[in-house]
Structure 1
Amino acid sequence: MSKNNVKKEVFSWIKSIVIALVIVVGVRHFLFAPTTVHGESMSPTFEDSNRVILNKISDVDRFDMIVFHAPDADENYIKRVIGLPGDTVEMKNDVLYINGKAYKEPYLKESKKPLAPNEKFTEDFTLQTLPATDGKVKVPKNSLFVMGDNRPVSHDGRAFGFIPQKSVIGKVQFRYYPLNEVGEPK
């Protein structure tokens, strides 16, 4: 093989590697990103150290699980979207009401099993009665109201109020660790 052919072959490999790196960086920055769950605020849906893939381009809907820049700390939180812009949110006798309509929360079923008959998993509130929401009755424009699935310990919208939609990093799309729980989270 001549020196010219070796140079062409090396250049071809370098070019292929650079193109692959650009694609990987582009996909990770703009489309999908891996992240690790920290803490127990989403237990049992997610446990500490679970690893998930975020979809950065999907629209966020009610009850989606999202990762966002924390409004009160230099870290990211994972929570469930409860209220969308314009929604009223109320918890009364352990039943979630959004815009006056009662919603079942099947993702809380396992956590509620050990409760005594009159024990509440989530304390009663309305958006207006939460100190962090500044007396607002509805979720403001371009904002979301989020809560963790482990309601008794979750530091969530009840404590820090609404989050700006622009703070959302992505919607949880897929769990890839631990291996025995790989798949789309419920």
Structure 2
Amino acid sequence: MRVYVPDQIVNEHVKSQRSSKSIVGWIPFTIIIILLFFIFRFAIGIEIINGHSMNPTIENKSVLFVNKIFFTPKRGDIVVIKDPHGYNIIKRIIGMPNDKVIITNGIISVNGQPLKENYTRGESVDVPEVIVPGGEVFVVGDNRSAGESLDSRDPNVRTFSIQAISGKAVFSLYPFHSLH
């Protein structure tokens, strides 16, 4: 005995199977997109620099790759800091908690030892000795020319909480080069 099944019923069944396969096909893509979102949101980041405070190391409009979780801040690191106004700023850590930082004749000394800095531009103004509080860091821009960098040298700014550091700049994507 032959059963007649109208073409319309067969076509609807085939369409239904294709539709469910199509939805299942989107699941891996959706999972990948969600994972990428979380990686870029919490583990790595991209920062576009606006300003000249880190010249000559980092140019205006540079695009930086930032490590957000796998680092421990240390002296010499270039870090992204969320300032009290909610802006991301980029500076170099000069003083760690309990360090004594002083700038005399344009030379920065930490705990009585002058820093060897071959990455700066301009000459810093003098700053009386600052003892960096626990849980905070003393940061400066590499461009030490007057008015180019609002950083820890300013008595209204001074130090930043380590908790305000949102990441360490690893390298410049554009123009491409490592950061030191």
TM-score (structure 1 length as normaliser):
0.81
Aligned to 2:149: 154
CA distance in 2, matches of 1:18, 1:183: 33
Given the alignment, which residue of 75, 91, 100 partners 1:62? 75
Is 1:144 matched with 2:149?
no
CA distance in 1, matches of 2:135, 2:44: 22
Given the alignment, which residue of 160, 174, 183 partners 2:177? 183
CA distance in 1, matches of 2:119, 2:90: 15
Higher helix share: 1
Higher strand share: 2
Structure 2 SS opposite 1:174: strand
Aligned letter for 2:135?
Answer: N
**Which stretch shows the higher mean deviation, 1-10 or 75-84?**
1-10
Given the alignment, which residue of 19, 22, 28 partners 2:34? 22
Aligned to 2:127: 125
Aligned to 2:114: 102
CA distance in 2, matches of 1:141, 1:19: 42
Q: Which residues in structure 2 correspond to 1:14-53 (within 5 Å)?
A: 14-53=26-65
CA distance in 1, matches of 2:47, 2:81: 11
Structure showing greater radius of gyration is 2
Aligned to 1:133: none
* Gap regions ≥5 residues in structure 2: 1-10
TM-score (structure 2 length as normaliser):
0.83
* Gap regions ≥5 residues in structure 1: 113-120, 129-137
Coordinate RMSD, CA, aligned? 1.7
Count of matched residue positions in the alignment of Structure 1 and Structure 2: 163
Misfit runs of 4+, over 4 Å: none
Q: Contact conserved, 1:31 with 1:55, CA < 8 A, in 2?
A: yes
Residue identity (%): 29
CA distance in 2, matches of 1:174, 1:13: 36
Give CA-to-partner distance per residue, 1:68-127, whole Å, 9 cap, x none: 1113x341111100111111111122322111122200112xx35xxxxxxxx1122234
CA distance in 2, matches of 1:125, 1:91: 5
Aligned to 1:116: none
